[in-house]
Amino acid sequence: MRKQIVVGNWKLNGTKVLCHQFASGLAGYIGSVELVICPPATHIDCLVSAASAHSSTVSVGGQNVAAQSGGAYTGEVSAGMLRELGACYAIVGHSERRALFGETSEIVAQKASHLLEAGITPIICVGESSLVREGGEHAKFVGRQITEVLSRLAPSAESAVILAYEPIWAVGTGNTASSEQVQSMHAHIRSVAAPFINSVATRVLYGGSVTPDNAANLLALPDVDGALVGGASLELDKFLAVAGGC
């Protein structure tokens, strides 16, 4: 049985005040869904401490991690550092990082490997552009992204990763993928991942304009095990409403 998980990706947003607001607001949460917030790296410590002070069950994650474990890499944050801050998860290969920061599948795999070594669960993002979908190549494209990353991970990665399908055309646009598009891609991802990980036990999340209005339908799909939420994760009520749709 895969436990549903809703992950908030705050991107380049958030303040210490918001960390405290979420930590206290989620303190009484009794739902069955696992809740994770990924604030900017500078705020992980604050959110972890605030969650602990409020006995809040929310877990904390990073939005990115260095592809190296240490050394002369100015500005980077390693998996070990994230672990020391109290992060349990970290997003890798988000489409914004692939498009804006040149992250290749090889780099994504290096990052995921460092996270696994540090005992942090990587949330590996994949997803096609509108051009690729219009060309009918989306299944092949996403399948290749999955294979390129998972084939580079040690076999011990078995069921220790989370996969997230985020079609680029749905991220931050208000254009959510349809239930049919999501279910068929998630089933495809599970089958493509099967040679590398225990894909039946692996959680596959959907991301891309998830809101309280569409969450219940998307999260009820058989191969959807939760959501990766951007915009709607910046407001506590909306984030909780999305989780309530599980």
Residue 41 CB coordination number (10 Å): 18
According to the binding rule CB under 6 A, does residue 14 interact with ligand PGA? no
Q: Is 63 an interacting residue with respect to ligand PGA (CB under 6 A)? A: no
Binding mask of the shown chain, residues 82 to 101, with x at each position contacting ligand PGA by CB under 6 A: --------------------
Return the number of the residue (95 or 113) whose C-beta is nearest ligand PGA: 95
- Cα–Cα dist 45/159, whole Å: 27
Nearest-approach distance from CB 143 to ligand PGA, in angstroms: 20
Asked whether the beta carbons of 239 and 6 are under 8 A apart, the reply is: yes
Question: Which DSSP symbol is given to 56?
Answer: -
Q: Rounded distance, CA 109 to CA 172, Å?
A: 25
Least distance to ligand PGA from the beta carbon of 91, Å? 8
In the residue annotation, 128 being an active-site residue is answered as no
One of 33, 37, 77, 171 touching ligand PGA (CB under 6 A): 171
Q: Is 208 in the site for ligand PGA (CB under 6 A)?
A: yes
The structure tokens listed for 124 are 């590996």
Catalytic member of 94, 114, 138, 186: 94
Whose structure tokens read 């602990």? 52
- Is residue 231 close enough to count as binding ligand PGA by CB under 6 A? yes
Among the residue ranges 80-88, 100-108, 206-214, 237-245, the one whose residues contact ligand PGA (CB under 6 A): 206-214
* Binding piece for ligand PGA, criterion CB under 6 A, among 19-27, 56-64, 82-90, 203-211: 203-211
Output Rg (C-alpha) for the chain, integer angstroms.
Answer: 17
Known catalytic residue at 166: yes
**Integer angstrom CA distances of residue 196 from 18, 82, 128, 222, 226:** 38, 26, 21, 21, 21
DSSP 8-state secondary structure symbol assigned to residue 111? H
Choice from 62, 80, 127, 207 touching ligand PGA (CB under 6 A) = 207
Nearest partner of 220 among 194, 195, 183, judged by Cα: 183
Active-site annotation holder among 34, 96, 166, 186: 166
Q: How far, in Å, CA of 23 to CA of 159, rounded?
A: 28
Interface pick for ligand PGA out of 215, 230, 238, 245 (rule CB under 6 A): 230
Binding site for ligand PGA (CB under 6 A): 9, 166, 171-172, 207-210, 228-232
